[in-house]
Amino acid sequence: MTDTVGERVFRRAGKTWRATTRPFRTWRAVGDSFDLPVGLTPREQVWALNKTRLYRYAPRVPPDERHRVPLLLVFAAINRPFLLDMRPGNSFVEFMLDEGFDVYLLDWGEPGPEDAEMRLDDYGAEYLPRAVRRVLADSGAEELSILGYCLGSLVALLYAALENDGPLRNLILLTPPVDTSHKEDSLLSSWLDERWFDVERFAANLDGLLSSSVIENGGKMLKAVANYVGAYVSLWDRIDDPEAVRNWQAMHRWVHDGVPLPAEVFRQWVADYLWSNALVSGRHVVRGEPVRLSDIEVPILNVLAKFDHIVPNGQSLPVADLVGSDDVQTEILTAGHVGIMAGHKARHVLWPTLAAWLAERSGDSG
């Protein structure tokens, strides 16, 4: 059946309207992204210390279908953790709940000037151990698994090394910046090279906090064209797809909704971890106790992003040779630093990989 003249005119008018209003709709979608609801999976707060909050997500499967060992998510302190729980149907937390895991999230919160003297070590030696104890008390479990993402993986490694005889059953490291002697392909390492970057002076002039805007723009400058131009071209191309627009808005909100970092955390990370590589060399000491990665003997899943522009693969690959565990599995997935968790392929690649690995190791002991 051929179209009538009226149908052709109506279709052409619709196409003209979409083309004419595309700039306005694209601009509006950018602005509306900051009001998009995110992190909607039901949860309750079960513990708090200073700005840090521990949440337990409501189970989605019957008790007899759940894994015995709970999972604690430890995100990087420079970002809000809703990247793990973007939107219904596009949520790692939701996926893991559906797989039968009892999921907890450690949210570091937003520090203030009064937190200026906090160290990266405090997260791993003070906050995380207390959160672990609360997870066990709340869940009734005797062991737990921890997933650390980016800087969160460093905190998880600190905990695992210092509490090597503790209740940790399994450890997942996602893009861990461990061996910083590998500076090749790291633009960030070049910017912060000790030959020209005075971290002591820089930190002393921060008024207690490294602002979220500095962190955001520093991260975006690592791939300037993609972040400042490409991201908006992507929205322009997808503006007629409502679901794609909402997913874009969720990511845009996350990128621009960062949190500041205590000045001492930044100073210590640069001086002790990035420059001295003390965690790998064995020279790192926390409250008088040496941190030895070789003391970590639990099963480890080390996941790298092949196109990671923030944590080069060379910094993550040595994990298997540094720890004392004889059960270390390394996976290199075709993704970027953020896309590995939140990209459109994540639910088909990373999420099932994590769930399957954990499921094999989250049953009864022995």
pLDDT tens column, 144-175: 999 999 999 999 999 999 999 999 999 999 99
Cβ-Cβ contacts under 8 Å for 193 (sequence gap 6 or more)? none
The continuous run of DSSP H or E covering 5 comes out as: helix 5-32
Residue 326: per-residue pLDDT: 95
The continuous run of DSSP H or E covering 301 comes out as: strand 300-305
Strand 209-210 and strand 261-262: the pairing is antiparallel
Segments in the chain below pLDDT 50: 365-366
Measured between its terminal Cα atoms, the distance across the chain in Å is 69
Q: What are the residue boundaries of the structural domains of the chain, listed by start?
A: 1-35+212-259, 36-185+260-360
Architecture of domain 36-185+260-360: 3-Layer(aba) Sandwich (3.40)
Alpha carbon distances (Å) from 229 to 28, 50, 224, 232: 17, 38, 8, 6
What values do phi and psi take at 237, rounded to 5? Answer: -70, -25
Please answer whether residues 30 and 36 qualify as being in contact, where contact means their C-beta atoms are separated by less than 8 angstroms. no
Residue 365: per-residue pLDDT: 42
Residue 19: per-residue pLDDT: 74
Q: In whole angstroms, what is the distance from residue 288 CA to residue 266 CA?
A: 21
